[in-house]
Amino acid sequence: GAGILHGERSPAVLSVHRTPTIQQVNITHCASDGISLVSPSLNLPLLDNRVEYNGGIGLSVLMLNGETRDADLSAFSPLRFARGLPYNTFGILDACDPGKQVIVEERILVYYRYENRPADCVKIFTSRYGVKTFGFRLLQLNLVNSTNQPWDPDSLTLYDGDIYNITSTVIAQIVSTTTGPAMENRLYRSKKPSLSLKIHSSGDDGSYGFIAEVITLPIAAIGFGRDIRHNISFSGFFHNRAGAVYYSSAGEINPILTMEWNQIVDNGAQLYGNFSTSEAAVALDVQNMDSLLFRNNLIRRNQGGLKIQSDSNGVPTALKAVIHNNVFADNNVTETVYLQGRRSSPYQEVTLYHNYVTRSNVRYKNVMLLDQVVANLTENHIFNLEMQRTAIEAGTNWWGYNTTTAIVGRIRDFRDIPELLQVRFEPYYLNNRTVLSGKCDPGWTQVGDTCYVYIGVPMNFSDAKEFCKKDNASLPYLMN
């Protein structure tokens, strides 16, 4: 029943710049997000929790690590959205709070979220002893495009010095139509021991705004550790309206993320056609994340499945993701598996093996989409697919013959009917001796007269029995 604070929606559990141990916690029927964590700095264990029937996201994690270098261009791109950050958040400076002057020793985060009224706000940052200059770096940016309106466009303006001093000069002005890597990824520097920030915004909803770090130069803040791990495991996320998990990061280094043995069921709601309340059950928008392990999870009856968007500044911080032994069943509207690399896409590596994908009701999108990533798909079981247009990769299979002519005769594809898909079958195996288990197909194991495959995800007995029944299969019983 939590989720409302001072008349505004707020997560039931909110932590800023702290690393709580959240285990065996039940969060239910909240008006906003269940758990929201902003920039936890240590190892984060989120184990054995149950988050259900909430009006927002079940769990949101927002990493705002920034950068410990004073390079002109950042090693990351500012985020588009900052989910899980409510109004009046303690621990982060609101750019429109009543105070005008802020004394900074090393680093401070400043943010602004749009409201339903216009705003003009000013902040003046000064160093404690008046000797250090300042740097300004964007971590998240999403301004309203009001250039075609009769009023001045929404903008962020940086001044070198005190804005109320006639000698201060404009460092930069950022508006929605001029943003790009050259403007967004830049470290703006002052020459004087003070920096002024002016925000001009029209009214809009809270998804618009910005987050930035203001640092003293030269940088003295301690960087984020490379061996930090975030573990989201053995938990249940059920009936959360905006999705189960949303994890986003902006910084030169980010934690290693593990998600295993979770039940993610019935999250999101379909509104009409291809519109829904969540972009995916599990959405990860990460940069410079070294490793991701996603295994033994049940993703069932959600609006969308697993969505990963990844970027990195180079090979050392490129993503190496392993997704295996998961069951994706009965998911709707958007892609069941969506993997996308961004700016430096050739570096992102994803291995998908031994996953089970079935009964996806995706009319307007692809069931699985891999975009600009280096991917290895092995031993995945994918059923009930429709409306595929790309060629079918059927290489390294045994066709019953070891001659090309005989194999072509067993394939019915676009060579026979132009409306059918192309099948690429070369190279092919000369025999199937190493992949069979009795009479069973490759990847399946014969037990008695029945063929079985094991993909371990958390599911109770009645659900498992019903699941197998829908796929015209049987549930094995283990006996001593």
Confidence at residue 272, expressed as pLDDT on a 0 to 100 scale? 84
Q: Which domains does the chain have, with CATH numbers?
A: 4-66+228-424 (no CATH), 93-217 (2.60.120.290), 444-479 (no CATH)
**What is the per-residue pLDDT across 427-478, written as a single tens digit (0 to 9) for each?**
887 777 767 788 888 778 888 888 888 888 888 888 888 888 888 888 887 7
Neighbours of 283 (CB within 10 A): 24
Instruction: Give the pLDDT mean for 46-75.
Output: 91
Burial call 379-415: b when 16+ CB within 10 Å, e when fewer: ebebeeeeeeeeeeebeebbbeeeeeeebeeebebee
Mean pLDDT is lowest, of 120-129, 245-254, 277-286, 441-450, for 441-450
- Specify the pTM: 0.80
Please list, in sequence order, all residues whose beta carbon lies within 8 angstroms of the beta carbon of residue 133, skipping any fewer than 6 positions away: 127, 189, 190, 191, 192, 193, 216, 217
Please list, in sequence order, all residues whose beta carbon lies within 8 angstroms of the beta carbon of residue 430, skipping any fewer than 6 positions away: 398, 402
**What is the per-residue pLDDT across 373-406, written as a single tens digit (0 to 9) for each?**
888 888 787 776 555 567 888 877 777 777 888 8
Q: What are the C-alpha distances in Å from 228 to residues 19, 38, 439?
A: 11, 15, 47
If DSSP codes are grouped into helix, strand and coil, which group holds residue 462? helix
Q: Are 280 and 334 in contact (CB under 8 A)?
A: yes
- Say which DSSP state 476 is in: -
Q: What are the C-alpha distances in Å from 472 to residues 325, 376, 437?
A: 20, 29, 21
**What is the per-residue pLDDT across 8-42, written as a single tens digit (0 to 9) for each?**
888 999 999 999 999 999 999 999 999 999 999 89
Neighbours of 74 (CB within 10 A): 23
Cis previous bond, 98, omega within 30: no
